[in-house]
Amino acid sequence: MGGLIFVGLGLAGLQDLTLRGLDAIRSADVVLAEFYTSRVTDASLADLEGLFGKKVRLLSREDVEAHGDEIVREAKSKVVAFVVAGDPMTATTHHDLLRRAEEERIPTRVIPGISIFTAAPGAAGLQIYKFGRTTTLAFPEGKYVAESPYEVIRENRARGLHTLVLLDSQADKDRFMRAPEAVELLRAIEERRKENVVLPDTLLVGLARVGAPDARVVVAPASEWHSIDLGPPLHTLIVPGTLHFMEEEALARRRNGSPRSV
């Protein structure tokens, strides 16, 4: 009897993996991994194989999106562990794979992973209950820049809510958007739209490598971000809405970088 088990690896190194996830991987017949929707900071395929004690087959975007039926077919007779960065169900592609397996009545299981959706608000010192809809800022394609993130931020701010802005990550091309680049894109949209969503003095929270020992959090107005270096990816941005005084103080303590770490 086979099955398809989605396992989230979390954000940084291999240390974010849960005991449940490790156990499932170790007892699976086949281990597949994809790192093109996101990637785990500071972990190589060799590291994974070392921890799991077995071979890991690395899948490309095409393997998953064009040949997902082959993964599902393999899961009919073997227990397949499909490991991914972060939480498995935050990527649409994985929902699609789960759907195919469910339709074929293959037993499935989702083992959640540490996710930027909860880790970023916590690292910033902001209340997760005050976040509106999340948005993703994409790399411009030629001259075209998708303005929907600007609209999501505007709607959230109008209701006093914070916005988690995920930054485009094309891991298969080793291309990861950095926080200063994201701020520049938002400012350029502001120049066109002029709806007062991201002004020069709008306070923005930039986060890098959340979950890793060298994670960084910096709070600064939009006008300063061109000269801020958060170090290597992955980066994330938060556009705060109305701040509770406790949140205001938390951001103030992060104005010149993260607080001291154990």
Binding interface with a copy of itself (CB under 8 A): 3-5, 10-11, 13-20, 22-23, 79, 87-90, 92, 95-96, 98-99, 102-103, 105-110, 112-115, 117-119, 121-123, 125, 127-136, 155, 159, 161, 211, 246, 249-250, 253, 259-262
Strands 108-111 and 169-170: unpaired
Nearer to a copy of itself, 23 or 184 (CB): 23
Q: Which amino acid is at 161?
A: L
Cα(8)–Cα(58) distance, rounded to whole angstroms? Answer: 15
Contact 101, 109 (CB under 8 A): no
Q: How far is the CB of 213 from a copy of itself (least distance, A)?
A: 9
Q: Choose between 3 and 180: whose C-beta lies nearer to a copy of itself.
A: 3
Q: Least distance to a copy of itself from the beta carbon of 60, Å?
A: 22
- Closest separation in Å from C-beta 223 to a copy of itself: 26
Give the separation between CA 36 and CA 173, rounded to whole angstroms. 8
Backbone CA torsion sign across 257, 8, 140, 148: negative
- Whether 85 contacts 35, CB under 8 Å: yes
Amino acid code (one letter) for 50:
G
CA dist 220 and 69 (Å) reads 47
Provide the minimum distance between the beta carbon of 179 and a copy of itself in the complex, in angstroms, as a whole number. Answer: 20
Cβ distance to a copy of itself smaller for residue 43 or 230: 43
Please identify, using beta-carbon distances, which residue of 5 and 177 lies nearer to a copy of itself: 5
How far is Cα 205 from Cα 218, in angstroms, rounded to an integer? 6
CB of 199 to a copy of itself, least distance (A): 24
Residue with Cβ nearer a copy of itself (31 or 222): 31
